[in-house]
Structure 1
Amino acid sequence: MTNLKLEEQMDELNSLIDGEVLTDETNRILYSTDASIYQIEPLGVVLPKNKSDVQKAVEYASNNGLSIIPRGAGSGLSGQTLGQGIVIDFTKYMDRIKEINIEESYVRLEPGVTLGVLNQTLSQDNKFLPPDPSSGNYCTLGGMLGNNASGGHSVKYGSTIDYVLELEVVLADGEEIKVENLEIGSQQFKAKLNQSNKVGDIYQQILELVKNNKELIAEHTPDARKNCSGYRLDEVLADQQFNLAKLLVGSEGTLAVITEAKLRIAELPSEQAIALLYFDDLDKAGRAVDKVLELDPSAIEIMNYGFLELVRKNHADIDQRLPDDLKTALLIEFDGDSQSEIEEKILQTEELICDELGLAFEIDTAHEEAEQKKLWSVRKSAVPILNKLEGPKRITGFVEDVAVAPAKLPDYIRRFKEIMDKYEVEAIIYGHAGHGNTHPRPLLNLKQEEDIEKMEAIAQDVYELVNELNGTISGEHGDGLLRTDFIEEIYGSMYDLFQKTKEIFDPEYILNPGKIVVDTTDLLTENLRYGADYETIGVESDLEFATEYQKEVEKCHGCSKCRSVVGTDMCPVFKALGEEKAAPRAKANILRGLISGRLDYNEYLKSRAFQEVFDLCLNCKNCYLECSSEVNIPKLIMEARIQHYRQTGQPLVNRFLGASEVLGKLGSITPKLTNTFLDAAPLRGMMEKMTGIAKKRSLPEFTDNTFKEWFAGRENKADKKVAYFVGCSTNYYHPEVGKGLVQLLEANGYQVIIPDQKCCSVANLNYGNLEGVQENINYNLESLVEVVKEGYDIVADCPSCSLMLKEEQLDVVDTKEARLVAENTYHINEYLLNLKEKDELKLDFNPNEIDFLYHTPCHLKAQGLASSTEELLGFIPELEIKELDAGCCGIAGTFGLKKDKYDLSMEIGENLFKKIESSNLEKVLTDCDACRMQLEEGTGKAVRHPIEILAENLSD
């Protein structure tokens, strides 16, 4: 197909729907990967707004010989949502929960709803949807249905297929139908069979196919407690019930496209507790699983010796907890309506497994929520640890989802290890023992042909073993590109039924081709994101990276966690926009496209498209703090901006906002006149046109007397001395913060000095103005190094200033002088708490009965000081503080001052504003002056710095 014809087709499709059609180079790269090891660039992406859009897109594709690939969050591990057709992404618009019926325990929703949002909503009525994949916070219900997702608690609660009541779908020709459970012989069922159209054909042919092959289906369906491989023909007929909905669950969008689902929901258990059983032998643990299953646990997780050794090396606290002679552990969770009921089950477990059968030599229990989380952290720590391993070999998911009967699990694990030894490959083994489902991830370097061949050989050997044990090649992660090659081997002659099923629903193979039923081979090793032919162009970075710049880019494996909208603070921009390009992983994907040559480095780097993607970052650091692979996306973005603006030049608004100290000095010459100017709407309109500063943004007033002017006349001699790095905002707008800091330090016996200094230049760093930031860093280092050598510590009241001096300036100038300054710089909270630790902090505060709302700045959290303000204010008797815990406020220093970013910044802060406005508390605190500006803008309430409160309440 020529590019011209494709462009015409995409334009025509765009004219047919209410949603969006994306065909630009950027989005094709962003949708070419998911959380798997593959990369395939689509023709385009449809963002439908309604069912009609989906129907029109599928019909158009069918009429024009194009394929359709349904996509959720792109969190799949098997490449299910990749293909050279039209991707339909439901997450931006079709993400509505349409009905919640508590009395009848069901929910009706669109496929773009995430499980995290659904369960957060349902929890208000003590309900939940039980299947709990590890991606639960961010995976979509459409993806879960397409994949038949499950998780650790499926041993008790089952998989997604067990909760489906009805599905509304679009067939391959664009026809919309509803499928549900029907009683054979009922009028409704007969009506479906008697239709003389595509729907009637499907019902007639699937009924005939399943009825005529009952024995074949029973014989070849894997003996596993859960299975999401192939088509679930075994679920279509049961007890005189015919259920096409269950056939579509787990079909990965190859039979129909789901547009709405009605799902059963369950009651949330009110109590949980955990038992951790310790074994000196793998077989004993395996024998214990079947016995524990009789007690109806809600989860059984297995961790073998290699897994436990990995945890021991990386978690000293957990190492101390684990017995020395431990070889295998089972983590067992029970839930229910009462602790007494659960305690009885744990007692039964101990009596049976430890005392009567003598299988486990010790049991550890946890009833408190915090303690349970700690024990679960043992189980969940492997993948984050493995993702951080240095070297060319990376954990590779390709035989990571086998499920066998629980009784066969020890045999499978032992023989799996023999296969790994045969190929001299390391793999850590863990998984869901309750359904015999393991998640090993061998360490391979897929940039080498030798390891690609090993991957293929290992997969073949492992799946032959699975076949021998009558297990399934996928318990919960799906087939996709990863396992489709092996389905026929596992299912034998039943594979013919899969082919017939596909042809009944989709004879032209329009829907997600290349998955489950194919006429090709070698899918496992084709279209690898990193293959033997993968090369990079060798980009030199301006910033300092602990590892190579290229390696930092490639650390992102696309898990999709950064698309979470509940359960995390990242990513505030994605939460506001809901677009793939806003997610942190999008930046890594674009950069990988550049260094690998998929994108033209010189041309794309200076393009508007590049700028649009990399503008969508606040440098809040939340993604870096919460990324399980510790990819430093904020730093990669700063590097990208440096390289971009070196070619294009800095826009005026960036230069203007990066010169905050110069502007502060100018505005403070005649502060009253400046403030009058900034309050005049016509003048602000002119200013917006000239500088790009939003006229809607209320700007802080310049003070009549700057902090440094006030401090110049201050005399206070003391033996202990500390150097104060004064933020621009404190000096020019809020001198009361600096005064409070000085009062606190003087009350603790310190003489405060202010060394010669310029702005820390964090804004210039954020905007990629390397020359501007280097100038200020070098100036400050020359001064600050001297005061440190004289024995001074450095304190700052602004979280961004202290973060810059402690961490970010090392990204620019990693010298021994910069490290010396970094090692001796503290945020004021940190410094005061260190004094408390040494019993040197003056704690004589007057009682204060006022209650405060408190917002934690992102850059304070980035320094590990998230709870520091609450701890300090807790020293004031009778004072109460309520943490707002609503994420980033959205201003990001100067980001929210820009005309083209103002609305986005306010949208990001909306939840925070609502929390403040709905509270009956009027007093609001935050440690960051930019956050203060944003909170006052969004709520109209006055906001203060916590240091002011501490200083005001010092007793004489």
Structure 2
Amino acid sequence: MLDGNSRTPASGPPDPARQDLAQQDPARPDPAQPGPARPDPARPDPARPDPALPAPARPDPARPDPALAAALHRHGLEFRDDPGTRAMYATDASLYRIPPLGVVRPRSADDVLATLAVCRELGVPLTSRGAGTSVAGNAIGRGVVLDFSRHMNRVLSIDPQARTAVVEPGTVQAALQARAAAHGLRFGPDPSTHTRCTIGGMIGNNACGARSLGYGRTSDNVAGLELVTASGARIGTGYDQAGRPTVTGDTGLVTGLQDLMAGFLAVGRTEFDRFGRQVSGYAVQHLLPERFDLGQALVGSEGTLGVLTAATVRLVRDPAHRVMVALGFDDIVAAGEAAPRVVQYRPTACEGLDSRLVDVVRTRRGADRVPELPDGRAWLFVELAGDDRDEVMDRAATLAGSGVSARTRIVDDPAVAAPLWRIREDGAGLAGIAPSGKRAWAGWEDAAVPPDSLGAYLAEFDELLATHELTSAPFGHFGEGCIHVRLDFPFDRADGTTAFREFLAAAAKLVAKFGGTLSGEHGDGRARSALLPTMYSPEALRLFGGVKAIFDPDGLLNPGVLVDPDPVEESVRFTAELPLVGSRGFRFEHDGGDLGNAVHRCTGVGKCRADNSGHGGLMCPSYLATREEKDSTRGRARVLQEMIRGERTDWRAPEVHEALDLCLSCKGCTSDCPTGIDMPAYKAEVLHRAYKGRIRPRAHYSLGWLPRWARLAGLAPRLANRAATLPGIGRLMLRAAGVDTRRSVPTFATTPFHRWWRRTGAAAATGGTPVLLFTDSFTDGFSPAAAQATVELLRRAGFEPRVPQQQLCCGLTWISTGQLDAARRILGRTTAELAAATAAGIPIVGLEPSCTAVLRSDAVELLGTDDARAVAGNTFTLAEFLARQDGWTPPDLSGVTVVAQPHCHHHAVMGWSADRELLARAGASVRALAGCCGLAGNFGVEAGHYEVSVAVAEQNLLPALDADPDAVVLADGFSCRTQISDLRGRPAVHLAELLLDRRVTAPTATG
């Protein structure tokens, strides 16, 4: 977001001493060349034998300042400087780490003014921040961070006639789109982070997005700005009725800029605006006398010139029809060479993708998640749009037949095109692991060249990567020559930072050779500002320094960016921390066995801060309930990253447990986060290490051992149920167990399934093809009807269910409470038993999704044994199993309306597509909800979690139930059914019960 302050300039041009940039000081080494870095106490000491490892814990240069806190609190500001907050805001989506002194969350422009006044008085730097999705490091700083996303996030007004909207800087782009859509309008620029990035952040970087061919950059869509200068003056920019730029407030600032620009006319007219994506540096071309437009000049200034408090943006009408044309090519160079020809067909988007990126989706999410693509190793996704469908389709057909590519596919179904566009949106996260298998980083992810040079640039860029022994999976806005890559910089080597710096210097020279720009939309930030001398002349850099001196002579705003920049390698955060050895629980095989590497999977792209339900996702339910950064997957990862930086890891640190407390362990991040974060596993690991050999919270013994208590209650279920209903006893039992007293006590089945099976079920065997039922503790003790229905359903389908002789448990409740040693023992016995069935060729069907997910995933991560892997590959959900039977026909569910609440673990680990397809074949009308039910096993039951549990349910589940009171509610998960019963008193059925209620065709089984 546009952060910064401006200051009333002295009359005339700025002091030449301030006008000269530090980059041009002969006594200072060229930042584009290798040289000594400034010491950074927050990163490993270069004097150590292995600088990739952290030095012993040292005083942090940005420890909380009591005087600062006192001054800010006197103004009534919401200021936080606790260790957790400082950890969460120490990084954005870049590879840099700078702990702030603290974070202010302003509620109004007056709060911004007050914060600036304190920072001026105390000489404290100030950095503005939106969603923290900056990949260039321009949303972090050493002083105070202003987080606009928490409170100043409103769409203030929309004028449908003028097609404008007034927004606060923390307004999420998707929220503006939702409001504008009611008027048939939209905000044109759409970065891949549109579900969580803020309009202020887009203005700060001059963001573009995939459809900038159709809608332009953010600067093309800004009609006015309201900002505050470093001196506390208010400035307004806009346009009069004749379309001429206007400035209100400190007009002396305008005079200073005009005087400055008079000495740099040739520079402003020749070095800027050479092609559409040239956004590096300041947009000084807009300060030329023939086009003076202060608002346009401020867009893209990365928070170094003024603090934005409101913006007026232009809106456009969405075309009625969109069609994708997918073009296949032999390699990414060929795709780059073809892009300029594609632009002749007037697309709104022309996006390039390398096969290495698509392969990640196929591997991580399953090949069925990637729609059919033309043959090739690289693709262009071209969007054509218009109000006349026939015209759009004709243009698509013409493009497909033009010879640009011999391998084409026209996609006119938005439902089919959506997952393809999603690959592009998730590109930054998907590219977080390089083709080498190593962690990949931002830092050189945003270069752009004139589109006609793109193919040649990509060819030489590949050669450069080979020279520096780096790999990448490129993607980007090929129609405009902008390429995004993440690279496996060797930060695990002793010379890692040197190699990083040398590559950036060489890459900058390559871009300059093609007349390109260091940044095409992300901003220069800390990653590229020091490389600007490679791209611009000394005169242009002096001009930048003059602009900065007029707006912010004391360097208060976002120092280290653009003018007098930090070296590119300063404050880089490393992933090669001290290995976390000792009482390990999970194996973290995909992360070298190291939790430190695992938590650094989080690159900060912030998808966990978005409302992902519109995309069929569920991450991150606790953040959507509280809107607190600490309750996002990213916030938790950042706190964990800080915890493991030192030689002594404090597993019991209060800020760590506070951040993890509201993690529902829903596993949504494992499937929805493009980087593959597994926060439930990290939470379990922390709890495991924190409480090993210590007294645990009461809920760990009650809810964590629930299967054990259920088995005991199963010996006398009527007595257990009676005790729970006695006046006062039930509430006392809940309190003693650490359970919220507003929760009901689940009723124990009077006849547990295992007892019914021994007495009745086994005797009715039909002799069909055997299948083993994994009857978990929840189904056995609380919902035996679901298991009995499954037995009957499978028998009618020609199978003979078998049940293990002894009751088996997956250890889920022990895992979720971090009792991993016990979970390992329990799972070891279970997988050994189930492996025998697997060896005999008998498939395993799980009934409870969370327990099935343990067998499919957690068991392998905890045990790593051949038994666990064999069982994981042979365990299916009921829908998956039935889908494999060629001769099985589902019952006729025509006329049945179903509201389905897929269990979180079902969605994340197995996927719900088999269930969706089965119900569609049956003819049911299904509304499948996206999002967590809020109970999430033991989470919503524990004392202190009730309000958040209900708030999560209110996001999707409860509105859907209220909107369709007569629908059948389908919920395979016991926790989902419990939440539905507790909060709405409605019955919910398991899939087997739904299918068994209808006529079932039972052909000859196929296995």
The reply to whether TM is greater than 0.5 is yes
The 3-state SS of whatever aligns with 1:605 is coil
Whole-angstrom distance in 2 between the partners of 1:305 and 1:818: 32
Unaligned runs of 5+ in 2: 1-59, 1002-1007
Per-residue deviation at 1:790? Answer: 5.7
User: For residues 305 and 825 of structure 1, what CA distance do their matches in structure 2 show?
Assistant: 31
How far apart, in 2, do the equivalents of 1:863 and 1:442 lie?
28
Could you tell me how far apart the structure 1 residues matched to 2:193 and 2:939 are? 31
Separation in 1, partners of 2:931, 2:862: 28
Relative distance call for 1:867 and 1:11 in structure 2 (3 A) is same
Query: What are structure 1's unaligned runs of at least 5 residues?
Result: none
Counterpart contact for 1:723–1:755, Cα < 8 Å: no
Question: What residue is the counterpart of 1:544 in the other structure?
Answer: 587
> Is 1:117–2:175 an aligned residue pair?
yes
- Asked if the contact 1:280/1:360 (under 8 Å) is kept, the reply is no
Counterpart Cα distance in 1 of 2:192 and 2:845: 41
Instruction: Output the amino acid matched with 1:56.
Output: A
Structure 1 residue 416: deviation in Å?
3.3
Please say if residues 146 and 250 of structure 1, whose CA atoms lie closer than 8 Å, have aligned partners that are also in contact.
yes
The structure in which a higher percent of residues are helix is: 1
Contact 2:155 2:176 in 1 (8 A): yes
Cα deviation digits, residues 285-317 of structure 1 (max 9, x gap): 667544543432212234579989999999989
**Higher RCO (C-alpha under 8 Å, 6+ residues apart):** 2
Give the 3-state SS of the residue equivalent to 1:395 in structure 2: coil
Distance across 1 between alignment mates of 2:346 and 2:899: 44
Checking the alignment, whether the CA contact within 8 Å between 1:181 and 1:245 is kept in structure 2 is no
Shift of 1:656: 0.6
- C-alpha contact 1:232 1:246 (8 A) present in aligned 2: yes
Indicate yes or no: 2:719 matched with 1:660: no
1:99-498 correspondence to structure 2 within 5 Å: 99-181=157-239, 192=248, 199-210=250-261, 213-236=264-287, 242-277=292-327, 289-302=339-352, 322=374, 330-349=380-399, 353-354=402-403, 360=405, 363-373=408-418, 376=421, 386-389=431-434, 393-492=438-537, 493-498=539-544
Counterparts of 1:573 and 1:72 in 2: how far apart (Å)? 20
CA distance in 2, matches of 1:489, 1:134: 28
**1:510 and 2:568 matched:** no
Give CA deviations for 1:572-625 in whole Å, capped at 9, x if unaligned. 112212222222233333333333317x41xx3113322112223222111111
**Distance across 2 between alignment mates of 1:335 and 1:605:** 54
Q: 1:686 aligns with which of 732, 747, 752?
A: 732
Q: Is the 8 A contact 2:131 2:201 kept in 1?
A: yes
* Deviation by residue 1:462-511 (Cα, 9 ceiling, x = unmatched): 33343344332211010110111122443321222221221222111111
> How far is 1:555 from its partner?
2.8
Shift in alpha-carbon separation, 1:438–1:659, aligned structure 2, 3 A: closer
Q: Are the aligned partners of 1:480 and 1:515 in contact in 2 as well (CA < 8 Å)?
A: yes
> Do structure 1's residue 627 and structure 2's residue 673 form an aligned pair?
yes
**1:636-715 to 2 correspondence within 5 Å?**
636-646=682-692, 648-668=694-714, 671=717, 674-675=720-721, 677-679=723-725, 682-714=728-760, 715=763
Is the 8 Å Cα contact of residues 55 and 176 (structure 1) preserved in structure 2? no
The aligned residue for residue 888 of structure 1 is: 932
CA shift in 2, pair 1:200/1:386, >3 Å:
closer
Task: Please give the residue correspondences for 1:454-853 in structure 2 after superposition, counting only pairs within 5 Å.
Answer: 454-492=499-537, 493-518=539-564, 523-530=567-574, 535-536=578-579, 538=581, 541-546=584-589, 547-549=592-594, 550-566=596-612, 567=615, 568-597=617-646, 600-601=648-649, 604-646=650-692, 648-668=694-714, 671=717, 674-675=720-721, 677-679=723-725, 682-714=728-760, 715-720=763-768, 721-749=770-798, 750-781=800-831, 783-788=833-838, 792-834=842-884, 836-837=885-886, 839=887, 841=888, 843=890, 845=891, 849-853=895-899
Structure 2 counterpart of 1:299, which letter? A
On the 8 A contact 1:852/1:880 being kept in 2, the answer is yes
In 1, Cα distance between the equivalents of 2:471 and 2:869? 38
Q: Distance in 2 between matches of 1:433 and 1:98?
A: 35
Change in 2 beyond 3 A, CA 1:295/1:506: same
Q: Secondary structure of the equivalent of 2:754? A: helix
Q: Work out whether residues 435 and 473 of structure 2, in 8 Å CA contact, stay in contact via their aligned partners in 1.
A: no
Q: What is the match of residue 44 of structure 2?
A: none
Q: How far off is 1:636 after superposition? A: 2.3
Q: For 1:286 and 1:890, locate their aligned partners in 2 and report how far apart those are by CA, in whole Å.
A: 46
Deviation (angstroms), 1:891: 0.7
Amino acid at match of 1:768: G
**Distance verdict in 2 for CA 1:184–1:831, change over 3 Å:** closer
Cα distance in 1 for residues equivalent to 2:483 and 2:811: 50
**1:924 shift after superposition:** 1.4
Asked whether the equivalents of residues 42 and 87 of structure 1 are also in contact (C-alpha less than 8 Å), the reply is: yes
Q: Say if 1:483 and 1:524, in contact at 8 Å, map to a contact too.
A: yes
SS of the residue corresponding to residue 114 of structure 2 reads helix
What one-letter code is carried by the residue in structure 1 that aligns with 2:69? M
Q: Which residue of the partner structure matches residue 3 of structure 2?
A: none
Q: Which amino acid aligns with 2:571?
A: N
1:524 deviates by 0.6
- Say if 1:393 and 1:899 are closer, same or farther in 2 by CA, change over 3 A: closer
Distance change in 2, residues 1:457/1:709 (3 Å): closer
Give identity over the alignment, percent: 28
Shift of the 287–821 alpha-carbon distance from structure 1 to 2, 3 Å rule, reads closer
Asked whether the equivalents of residues 830 and 868 of structure 1 are also in contact (C-alpha less than 8 Å), the reply is yes
Task: Write the distance in 2 (CA, Å) between the matches of 1:429 and 1:723.
Answer: 46
Q: Give the alignment's TM-score, normalised by structure 2.
A: 0.85
Tell me if the contact between 2:919 and 2:926 (Cα under 8 Å) persists in the aligned partners. no
Aligned residue for 1:444, secondary structure, equals coil
Indicate conservation of the 8 Å contact 2:228/2:306, yes or no.
Answer: yes
Q: Give the number of equivalent residue pairs.
A: 928
**1:312–1:319 contact (8 Å) kept in structure 2:** no
Query: 2: distance between equivalents of 1:881 and 1:319?
Result: 24
Kept in 1: contact 2:429–2:603 (CA 8 A): no
Q: 1:111 to 1:685 in 2, by over 3 A?
A: farther
Cα distance, 1:311–1:764 mapped onto 2, change above 3 Å: closer
2:764 partner SS: coil
Asked if structure 1 preserves the Cα contact closer than 8 Å seen for 2:101 and 2:144, the reply is: yes
Deviates more, 1:694-703 or 1:277-286: 277-286
Distance in 2 (alpha carbons) for counterparts of 1:732 and 1:267? 57
- 2:327 & 2:989 partners in 1: Cα distance? 51
**How far is the alpha carbon of 1:284 from its aligned partner?**
7.9
1:527 maps to amino acid = S
Q: Structure 1's 954 and 658: CA in aligned 2 closer, same or farther, altered over 3 A?
A: farther
Partners in 2 of 1:766 and 1:559 — Cα distance?
Answer: 26
TM-score (norm 1): 0.89
- Cα separation, partners in 2 of 1:257 and 1:683, compared to 1, 3 Å: farther
Structure 2 counterpart SS, 1:944: coil
Counterparts of 1:557 and 1:739, CA distance in 2? 46
SS state at 1:628 partner = coil
Per-residue CA shift, 1:47-81, capped at 9, x if unaligned? 22333222212211111110111112221111001
Q: Where does residue 26 of structure 2 map in the other structure?
A: none
SS of equivalent residue, structure 1 residue 713: helix
Q: Which amino acid aligns with 1:337?
A: D
Q: Which amino acid aligns with 2:520?
A: G
Structure 2 CA distance, aligned partners of 1:35 and 1:307? Answer: 19
Partners of 2:570 and 2:655 lie apart in 1 by 29
Opposite residue 506 of structure 2, the aligned amino acid is: D
Which moved further from structure 2: 108-117 or 761-770?
Answer: 108-117
Comparing 891-900 with 441-450, which one deviates more in the overlay? Answer: 441-450
Query: Could you tell me whether the CA contact under 8 Å between 1:672 and 1:704 is conserved in 2?
Result: yes
Is residue 27 of structure 1 aligned with residue 70 of structure 2? no
